[in-house]
Structure 1
Amino acid sequence: MTSRIVVTGGAIIRDDHGRILLQRRSDYGDWGLPGGGMEPGERIEETMIREVKEETGLDVISYELASIYTGERMKYTYPDGNEVVFVMFLFNVRVNLDGKLAEDGRTLYFEDENKESLQLTFEVWMKSRSI
């Protein structure tokens, strides 16, 4: 089976405590960063901004390119058998969280239209993890 290349824009969103917003995705149940695939005609920055809004309800205030990942470690096989190789552009992103968090101070209340996010929570990123 041939792999497709999928260009994605993702967001590293930190709260005031330095924790990173993680999204538990409905398509494969894993935790990751908010983001998704580029649509025809979009700039990668537009992709990231659109995906952040769709998946978290948050508006991007500012951003800067943090890193670009691809290669063997970015290969993924979906449950339906489709194989992809991601080219992932990650951005450090600032958003306004005023009034958006639950009482626990770490859960983001938002139900996205497409039900892509099962859960959104700010977590301490372990040094042993890699994005």
Structure 2
Amino acid sequence: MNYIQSLRKVIGTKPIIAPGSAVIVLNEQNEILLQLRSDTNDWGIPGGGMEIGDSLEETARKELFEETGLEAQDLELLDIASGKEFYYQFPHGDEIYNVTAVFKAMKVTGTLMGNEESLELGYFPLDSLPELNGTTEKLLKRIGYVKD
């Protein structure tokens, strides 16, 4: 059971502050890696919640590997996003206020493959993205990868 699941057993669906990391991976064609998330059934960048004892960078590396099969050789911190703008309510009712460290993977190795968290994985041109989940869209706009 992960940290958030442990909290949820005590507080139910009430809002929590959820620290985590997200990772932007670009291929040689400057296309961004997106995942069709199984928990929300929408497109987003790989990432997830921090576990007790982990750093934000460890969280980024772990989530990228778990969700895509890729390993980041180097990470660059692009931004830390937080506040009311990053409130999210999951389809099942859980409420969170995200505090997300956004990293860019400078070099990745491994074989792209999903798991139960990723229904589909693919690279998309930045000017032709599928419909993104609200959090990903806000993050990408905030760091200048997507225009309003």
Q: TM-score, normalised by structure 1?
A: 0.83
- The answer for the alignment partner of 1:104 in structure 2 is none
Q: What is the aligned-residue RMSD (CA, Å)?
A: 1.9
Q: Distance in 1 between matches of 2:86 and 2:128?
A: 19
Query: 2:68 corresponds to which residue?
Result: 56
Alignment of 1:1-131 (within 5 A): 2-93=14-105, 94-96=107-109, 100=111, 108=112, 110-112=113-115, 115-126=116-127, 129-130=137-138, 131=140
- Higher mean alpha-carbon deviation, 13-22 vs 72-81, is at 72-81
When you count helix as a share of all residues, which structure comes out higher?
2
Gaps of 5+ in 1: 101-107
Q: CA–CA distance in 2 between the matches of 1:62 and 1:18? A: 17
- C-alpha deviations, 1:72-114, integer Å up to 9, x for none? 22111112211100001010102036xx4xxxxxxx4x132xx
Tell me how far apart the structure 2 counterparts of residues 12 and 45 of structure 1 sit (CA, whole Å).
13
Identity score, percent: 37
Aligned-partner residue type, residue 96 of structure 1: T
Question: Where in structure 2 are there 5+ consecutive unaligned residues?
Answer: 1-12, 130-136, 141-148
Task: Give the counterpart letter for 1:55 in structure 2.
Answer: E
